[in-house]
Amino acid sequence: MNSPANPSGRVAGKKALSVSKWLAAWAVLCLAACSHPAVRPVQMEYARWFRVLDSSRVVVLSPAGGADTLQGPVRSLVCMSSSYVGFLEALGADSVVTAVSGLAFLGNERVLASAVEAGYDAALDYEAILRVHPDLLLTYAVGGTDPLYLAKLRELGVRPVVLSEHLESHPLARAEYLKLFGVLTGRLALADSLFGAVRDRYLSLSRPVTSSKVLLNIPYADSWYIPGGDNYMTRLLQDAGAEVLGAVPGRQESSVISLETAFQYAQEADFWLHPGWCRTKAQLRAVHPLFASFPVLDKPVWNNTLQTTPGGGNRYWETGPARPDLLLEDLVRLFAAPEAPDGPGAPAGPGAPDSPGTPDGPFHYYEPVN
């Protein structure tokens, strides 16, 4: 699942800095992980759709019923989602990635240089996939229906596996897929330790009290989507101390709101987050004439576009699922700041140091829309 292309040209210069910051953050976390020795059997804490059997076997569960037992380690993987590449990168095992759907969108330079394009859904490049001799092709299902190309892959001797990582509703549930990829690459002990460090850091950053109201997103294809109250994104924002306006309690799927309803939320909101491709308020006003009259436009507006890639992808979706602690750290900081900083990666506003436990330093994935 790769993000759509971003038309902004301010990418290449920031990318190297952002990727280096991300790698540095992983180095610190790896040191912390040494204090979390792996315990057998590995316990599942958050993830719903897989189970680790032992260091070389993992069971993938289907929301529709059924299970698929996978054996590791593997030598060649085709990844139909950029987040799978991110998990493997976190484990230092991305060398097993031999083909990717949406390769050009990736920020992982090693995979960009060595893997091939696998194609998309009904337009898979079967010849390219067969050339890399994959042990597994990892994919996902949308709307509860398996992709139509699975049968064709099986006919060709390629084993497809449908993961439900994108259906997990808790940020730590998605991060726990480190263990699945640890089994597939023979690095379960490392994966277990890294997840423990991510979990502990995430929980230490969580804010139990709601202090901010958030207007989320902009219209996409003329529909304004708001994630449900049990959605991954809503949970992440709640753990940062924010309320997503319009999130329907008990629902994971997104709901569509009208422009009139969005205007009402814009009067309540303290922040506007994830305004599509927009990186300036001038771009945001140009999306729709009514946006200029949104009261929230005079308040802090932030986007998760700090680590966009030269190909138009976004590391937020590629590496963020493995590092929800960094996503939460960014959100805690930006909600603690009364005003957005002047530039990308700048420290939080003058109010941040007064907030107990608020992290300092540059942002990892978020930048202000000024």
pLDDT at position 146, please?
80
Tokens of 252: 């994971």
Tokens of 281: 């308020």
**Crossing angle of the two packed helices 232-239 and 324-336, in degrees rounded to 10:** 50
The residue among 186, 138, 144 whose CA lies nearest residue 159 is 138
- 36-203 placed in CATH 3.40.190.10: no
pLDDT at position 131, please?
98
Name, in order, each residue with C-beta under 8 angstroms of 14's C-beta and a sequence gap of 6 or more.
Answer: 306, 307, 308, 344
Q: Do 36-203 and 207-368 fold alike per CATH?
A: yes
pLDDT at position 341, please?
53
pLDDT at position 361, please?
80
Q: Are 342 and 363 in contact (CB under 8 A)?
A: no
CATH number of 207-368: 3.40.50.1980
Distance set, CA 251 to CA 91, 98, 216, 229 (Å): 33, 37, 16, 5
Domains of the chain, by residue range, sit at 36-203, 207-368
Q: Which pLDDT tens digits describe the chain residue by residue (370 residues)?
A: 554 333 333 333 334 344 454 444 554 455 444 444 444 567 899 999 999 999 999 999 999 889 999 999 999 999 999 999 999 999 999 999 999 999 999 999 999 999 999 999 889 999 999 999 999 999 999 877 788 899 999 999 999 999 999 999 999 999 999 999 999 999 999 999 999 999 999 999 999 888 999 999 999 988 999 999 999 999 999 999 999 999 999 999 999 999 999 999 999 999 999 999 999 999 999 999 999 999 999 999 999 999 999 999 999 999 999 999 999 999 999 998 756 554 444 333 322 233 334 567 899 999 999 9
CA angle 266/239/32 to nearest 5° reads 140
Length of the chain measured in residues: 370
Tokens of 340: 């957005």
Q: Are 229 and 210 in contact (CB under 8 A)?
A: no
Q: Are 369 and 301 in contact (CB under 8 A)?
A: yes
Q: Could you count the other beta carbons within 10 Å of the beta carbon of residue 356?
A: 6
